[in-house]
Amino acid sequence: MAHTVMPSSQELPRVTSEDLKRARDRLRVAQARRHRWGKLSLLWLLIGPGVLVMLGENDAPSMLSYAATGATYGPGFFLPFILVTFLMAFIVQEMTVRLAAATHRGHAELIFERFGPFWGAFALVDLALGNLMTLVTEFIGIRAGLGFFGVPPVLAVLLALAVIALVVLTRRYWTWERIGLALATFNLVFIPVAVLAHPDPGQLLAAFLTWQPVPRWDQTTLLLLLADIGATVTPWMLFFQQSASVDKGVTGQDIAHGRLDTALGALLAAVAGIATAIATSPLFAHHVNASSFAGADFARALLPYVGRVGASLFALGIVEAGLLAAITIASSSAYAFGEVTRQPHSLNRSWREGWPFYCVLLVAAGLAAAVVLIPNAPLEFIVLIVNVYAVLSMPPALVFLTVLVNDREIMGEQANGSLANVLTVTVTLLICLAGLVYGIATVFPGLLPS
C-alpha cells in the first residue's frame, strides 16, 4: 500500500501577512467579476495606482507652475496644452500597468534583472537622490500653504510628517490606497477657486476650440512651456505605479481597468491643472507680477478676486498637493529599495516582516522634512537643482521603460505593438528634448531670447 509523503514544514513556503491580505483583496475582485451587477464594484476595487500617480504628480511645484502660467498668460494657449501633456503622461504610464500585470515585478526589480546589478544600483541611487530632493520641495509647498493660515513652519512640517507616518503605518495596502484616493480628491479644490475667479466662458471655449498660438516667444514663455512638459512624467511615477500595481495584485485580466484607472487619473489631474491656471488668470487681467510668487503669495494675491474662501481653498490645495506627492514619492523609494535589495516591499506587510521597507519610507520623508527646517537652508537652490536633476534622470528612465515593454520574453502578448512604439518613441523624444532644453535654459539663461 502506497503512502503519501507529506512535505515537511521546512519545504512549505511561509504564508505571510502580505499573502493573506492580498488574497482577500483578490477574492473580492473575483466575486465582483462573477456578480451580474459587479462592474461598478469591480471598477471601485481596481482603481488606485493610476489616479494616485497622476494626482501625485500634481504636486506642490507643479500646481505653482500652473498658477504661474495662468497669472502670466491668462486663459489661452496653455489650457489645452496642459491637457496634451497629460495625454503624454497616459501613454507612458499605461506601459507600467502592462509591465506589472505581465511580470508581477516592480520597475527597479526588472531593471536589476534585465540590465544587471550595475544598472539596478544606478536606477536605485538615481531614484533615491531625485526623490529626496523632490520631497524637500513638497515640504516647502506644505509649509507655504499652511503658512497662509498662520501655522508656524516647524508645526506645519511636523504635522505633514505625522500624517505620512499614520497613513503608512496602517500596514494595509487597501487602506493606504483608499486614504490616498480620499486625499487626492482634494486636488480638485482648484475647480471651485476657478469658478470664484469668474472666468469668461466664451474665452475659455475659444481657448480649447481654436487653440490660440503661443502668446510670445521669450525666456519666460519658453521656461513655462518646458517646465509644464518636463513635469508631465518623472522617474518616481514609473517606479511607483508599477510597484503599487504589483502590491495591489494586478493581473492580465485587470489591464483594461488599469488603463481606465490611469486615464481617469490623467483626466482629473489635467482638469485640476487647468483649473489652477484659470484660478490665477485674474492676476494676468489686473497686471499683477507673479514671477516670484510661492504658495502663500498666490493665495494672498488672489484674495481681492476670489475672496477669503477661494484663497483658503487655493492654499489648502497646495498643502494637499505636497502631502499626497510626499506619500507617493516616499513609497516609490521604499518599493525600489526593497526590490533591488530583495527585502520585503509591500504595504501589506506587518512591521515585523517589512520593517526595512517602512524605515526607508519614513526616513526618506523625515530627511526631507529636516532639510526644510534647517535655518537659512538654500531652499530656492534645492528647487533649482531638482529641475536640473530631473533633466538628467528622465532620459535613462524612459529608455529603460521602452526597452522593457518591448521585451517579448517578459511581456509576451502584452509587449508594445507598432502603434504603441510610435507613440512611445514620440513622447519619449519630446519629453527628453523638452527636459534637455529646460536644463540648458536653466543653467544658461542667456541663451534664451529676452
Q: Per-residue confidence at 156, pLDDT binned at 50, 70, 90?
A: very high
Q: Compute the average pLDDT of residues 339-357.
A: 87
Burial class (CB in 10 A: 0-12, 13-18, 19+), 173: buried
Give the number of other CB atoms < 10 A from CB of residue 277.
Answer: 30
As a whole number of angstroms, the distance between CA 237 and CA 234 comes to 6
Domain membership of residue 12 (yes or no) is: no
Q: Per-residue confidence at 260, pLDDT binned at 50, 70, 90?
A: very high
Using alpha carbons, select from 104, 416, 94, 34 the residue that is nearest to residue 261.
Answer: 94
Domain membership of residue 37 (yes or no) is: no
Question: What pLDDT is stored for residue 450 in this prediction?
Answer: 57
Domain membership of residue 16 (yes or no) is: no
Q: Give the whole-number percent of the chain exceeding pLDDT 70.
A: 90
In our burial notation (b when 16+ CB lie closer than 10 A, e otherwise), range 332-351 reads: bbbbbbbbbbebbbbbbbee
Three-state secondary structure of the chain: CCCCCCCCCCCCCCCCHHHHHHHHHHHHHHHHHHCCCCHHHHHHHHCCHHHHHHHHHCCHHHHHHHHHHHHHHCCCCHHHHHHHHHHHHHHHHHHHHHHHHHHCCCHHHHHHHHHCHHHHHHHHHHHHHHHHHHHHHHHHHHHHHHHCCCCCHHHHHHHHHHHHHHHHCCCCHHHHHHHHHHHHHHHHHHHHHHHHCCCCHHHHHHHHHHCCCCCCCCHHHHHHHHHHHHCCCCHHHHHHHHHHHHHHCCCHHHHHHHHHHHHHHHHHHHHHHHHHHHHCHHHHHCCCCCCCCCHHHHHHHHHHHHHHHHHHHHHHHHHHHHHHHHHHHHHHHHHHHHHHHCCCCCCCCCHHHHHHHHHHHHHHHHHHHHHHHCCCCCHHHHHHHHHHHHHHHHHHHHHHHHHHHCCHHHHHHHCCCHHHHHHHHHHHHHHHHHHHHHHHHHHCHHHCCC
Cell of 414: 502584452
Q: Compute the average pLDDT of residues 403-417.
A: 90
**Amino acid occupying residue 49:** P
What's the total number of domains in the chain? 1
pLDDT digits over 268-324, tens only?
999 999 999 999 999 988 888 876 676 678 889 999 999 999 999 999 999 999 999
Q: Compute the average pLDDT of residues 10-19.
A: 68
Domain membership of residue 7 (yes or no) is: no
Question: What pLDDT is stored for residue 447 in this prediction?
Answer: 66
Question: What pLDDT is stored for residue 433 in this prediction?
Answer: 77
Domain membership of residue 2 (yes or no) is: no
pLDDT digits over 172-197, tens only?
899 999 999 999 999 999 999 999 99
Most confident of the ranges 255-269, 296-310, 424-438: 255-269
Alpha-carbon separation of residue 420 from 34, 268, 375, 440 (angstroms)? 32, 23, 49, 30
| pLDDT over threshold 70, residue 10 | no
| pLDDT over threshold 60, residue 4 | no
Using alpha carbons, select from 183, 207, 192 the residue that is nearest to residue 275.
Answer: 192
Most confident of the ranges 18-22, 58-62, 317-321: 317-321
pLDDT digits over 112-140, tens only?
989 988 888 888 888 888 899 899 989 99
| pLDDT over threshold 80, residue 47 | yes
pLDDT digits over 209-237, tens only?
888 887 777 767 777 777 777 667 788 99
Question: What pLDDT is stored for residue 295 in this prediction?
Answer: 66
Q: Which of 87-91, 299-303, 373-377, 405-409 has the lowest mean pLDDT?
A: 373-377
Q: Compute the average pLDDT of residues 32-54.
A: 86
Question: What pLDDT is stored for residue 150 in this prediction?
Answer: 92
Question: What pLDDT is stored for residue 404 in this prediction?
Answer: 93
Domain extent for 95:
48-447
Domain membership of residue 21 (yes or no) is: no
Say if CB 291 and CB 72 are below 8 A apart.
yes
| pLDDT over threshold 50, residue 1 | no
> Who has greater pLDDT, 444 or 84?
84
CATH number of the domain residue 199 falls in: 1.20.1740.10
As a whole number of angstroms, the distance between CA 369 and CA 350 comes to 25
Q: Mean pLDDT score of the chain, rounded to an integer?
A: 86
